[in-house]
């Protein structure tokens, strides 16, 4: 049975071009980038070339990039490191209820240390109102963190407007850009952010490599301790092969930004139109706002999303429900609940996220599979009644 992958927001397959430079780096660049001998200097050169390629994707200077082990570390370093560097005796921070756990959990850690956190709710469309940020600010607010693109709905947040509000108040602005970089044009200067997190495996590089943009002049304390790597912001021997792979992936993403987002948006719209035309009592969450071009989140009333994920998996399609398992129980998405969806509809929602390998034939096959699976599962559902 052929399999089709529609879960690119979870992770992307490593592209062939990226794999080739990764293998070459593993075989040909054995040195430690901190060593002064020739092998070390070759490794250092390759690391800095990769830093330049990633910087070009974000529109920043290479020296403003810190390589990390991924988006989670980048988020933790941005949030904890910036707040620790703020020596004010009283601090307050702001984030949103729709953030990824890689952001929410560092803020909960700050709460445990006695720092008050304001969690902003989105509107029913999944978008944060900049006015809510302004109203939440306090004289002691040290940091505002709002994701650029939501991992479940694809909804884009008004980062430039929020960053301007934070800057006027003297607060730093961080954005989790893990789901935006490589999918839409990103210019950190135009966004006005001080800190911006990305992850390589979200745009066809390897897992285990990410980066944090730190605007020049931004105070940041390390949250790990060791050597003086990465301008004393992140200790540890640099993962040169994965950085090289991320650099290659970034250069490909940058080159294809004029074309690939439009192709994916057309495929996403084809998928949504096909499903909504043939499946009753279905709808798209965050449909009427700006979204990443590859992402759609569809609810199917009367179903459990997990059952539909399994049914589609058995037919050869990888999709996601966006829910998390906790103590053996499937919990509805915290993002969809924050948007005001009832738990039943949140549990009935699926995320489809497209990528390079998908085409019209695969989308049409997915539509057929969804139509069949939904009809079958609704016949078995004790709660579904067609209107």
CATH at 26: 3.40.640.10
122: which residues sit within 8 A by CB, 6+ positions away? 96, 97, 98, 128, 129, 155, 338, 339
Residues 102 and 245 in one domain: yes
Instruction: State the Cα–Cα distance between residues 286 and 245, nearest whole angstrom.
Output: 33
pLDDT tens digits for 104-149? Answer: 999 999 999 999 999 999 999 999 999 999 999 999 999 999 999 9
- CATH of residue 303's domain is 3.90.1150.10
Write out pLDDT tens, residues 351-377.
999 999 999 999 999 999 999 999 999
- Name the helix (H) or strand (E) containing 108: helix 101-112
Same domain assignment for residues 106 and 62: yes
Which one of 226, 256, 286 terminates a domain?
Answer: 256
Give the residue among 94, 71, 70 at the shortest CA–CA distance from 82: 94
Q: What is the pLDDT of residue 15?
A: 95
Domain around 111: 16-256
pTM: 0.96
Distance between CA 69 and CA 77 in Å, rounded? Answer: 11
Beta strands 210-214 and 282-285, pairing class = unpaired
Output DSSP code: residue 202. Answer: G
Q: How many CB atoms lie within 10 A of CB 101?
A: 12
100 shares a domain with 183: yes
Contact (Cβ atoms closer than 8 angstroms) between residue 95 and residue 146:
yes
Bridge-based pairing of strands 172-176 and 195-199 is: parallel
Of the chain, the end-to-end C-alpha distance in Å amounts to 36
Is the domain of 22 the same as that of 153? yes
Q: Note whether residue 338 is domain-resident.
A: yes
Query: How many angstroms separate the CA atoms of 195 and 48, rounded?
Result: 20
In a domain, 68, yes or no: yes
Residue 44 lies in a domain: yes
Q: What's the pLDDT tens digit per position in 10-50?
A: 999 999 999 999 999 999 999 999 989 998 899 999 999 99
pLDDT on residue 126: 98
Judged against a pLDDT cut of 50, whether residue 93 lies above it is answered with yes
Considering the domain architecture, whether residues 66 and 199 belong to the same structural domain is answered as yes
Same domain, 250 and 326: no
Per-chain mean pLDDT for the chain: 95
Residue 301 pLDDT exceeds 90: yes
Same domain, 80 and 213: yes
Which residue, 221, 256, 291, sits at the end of a domain? 256
pLDDT in tens, 180-237: 999 999 999 999 999 999 999 999 999 999 999 999 999 999 999 999 998 889 999 9
Would you say how long the chain is, in residues?
Answer: 387
Between 385 and 346, the more confident residue is: 346
> How confident is the model at residue 346, as a pLDDT?
97
Q: What is the pLDDT of residue 373?
A: 97
Question: Cα-flanking dihedrals φ and ψ of residue 318, to 5°?
Answer: -95, 115
Which of these three, 256, 282, 301, is where a domain ends?
A: 256
Three-state DSSP state, 71: helix
Specify whether 32 is located in the same domain as 100.
Answer: yes
Q: Looking at the domain assignment, is residue 11 inside a domain?
A: no
Instruction: Please check whether residues 315 and 335 belong to one and the same domain.
Output: yes
- Residue 77 domain-assigned (yes or no): yes
> How far is the C-alpha of 251 from the C-alpha of 156, rounded, in Å?
23
Residue 136 lies in a domain: yes
pLDDT value of residue 316:
98
- Reduced to 3 states, what is the DSSP secondary structure of residue 291? strand
Residues 51, 40: one domain? Answer: yes
| Res 85: pLDDT | 95
Which residues carry out catalysis? 325
- Total domains in the fold of the chain: 2
7 within some domain = no
- Considering the domain architecture, whether residues 338 and 209 belong to the same structural domain is answered as no
Is the pLDDT reported for residue 52 higher than 60?
Answer: yes
Mean pLDDT of 280-309: 97
Name the percent of the chain in helix, strand, coil, to the closest 5.
45, 15, 40
pLDDT of residue 381: 80
| CB contact at 8 A, 51 and 247 | yes
**How does residue 323 score in pLDDT terms, banded at 50, 70 and 90?**
low
Residues 251 and 276 in one domain: no
| pLDDT band at residue 387 under the 50/70/90 scheme | low
Closest Cα partner for 374 from 294, 295, 283?
283
387 is a domain residue: no
* Mean pLDDT, residues 233-256 taken together: 96
């Amino acid at each position: 049975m052929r399999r089709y992958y529609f879960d690119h927001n979870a992770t992307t397959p490593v592209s062939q071009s990226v794999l080739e430079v990764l293998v070459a780096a593993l075989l040909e660049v054995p040195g430690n980038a901190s060593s002064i001998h020739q092998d070390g200097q070759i490794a250092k050169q390759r690391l800095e070339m990769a830093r330049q390629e990633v910087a070009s994707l974000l529109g920043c200077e290479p020296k403003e990039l810190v390589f990390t082990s991924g988006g989670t570390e980048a988020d933790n370093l941005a949030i904890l490191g910036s707040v620790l560097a703020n020596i004010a005796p009283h601090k307050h921070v702001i984030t949103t209820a729709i953030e990824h756990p890689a952001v929410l959990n560092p803020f909960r850690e700050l709460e445990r240390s006695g720092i008050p956190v304001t969690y902003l709710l989105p509107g029913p469309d999944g978008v944060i109102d900049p006015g809510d940020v302004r109203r939440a600010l306090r004289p002691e607010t040290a940091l505002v963190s709002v994701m650029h693109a939501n991992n479940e709905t694809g909804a884009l947040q008004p980062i430039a407007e929020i960053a301007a509000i934070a800057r006027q108040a003297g607060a730093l602005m961080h954005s989790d850009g893990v789901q935006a970089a490589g999918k839409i044009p990103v210019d950190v200067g135009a966004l006005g952010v001080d800190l911006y997190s990305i992850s390589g495996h979200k745009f066809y590089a390897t897992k285990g490599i990410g980066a944090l943009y730190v605007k020049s002049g931004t105070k940041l304390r390390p949250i790990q301790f060791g050597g003086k790597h990465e301008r004393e912001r992140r200790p540890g021997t640099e993962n040169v092969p994965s950085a090289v792979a991320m650099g290659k992936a970034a250069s490909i993403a940058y080159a294809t930004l004029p074309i690939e987002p439009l192709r994916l948006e057309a495929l996403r719209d084809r998928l949504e139109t096909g499903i909504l035309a043939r499946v009753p009592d279905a709808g798209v969450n965050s449909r009427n706002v700006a979204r990443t071009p590859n992402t759609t989140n569809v609810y199917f009333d009367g179903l459990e999303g997990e059952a539909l994920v399994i049914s589609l998996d058995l037919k050869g399609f990888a999709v996601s429900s966006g829910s998390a398992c906790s103590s053996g129980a499937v919990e509805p998405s915290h993002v969809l609940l924050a948007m005001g969806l009832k738990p039943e509809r949140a549990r009935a929602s699926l995320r489809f996220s497209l990528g390079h390998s998908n085409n019209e034939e695969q989308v049409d096959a997915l539509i057929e599979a969804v139509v069949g699976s939904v009809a079958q599962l609704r016949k078995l559902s004790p709660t579904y009644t067609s209107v």
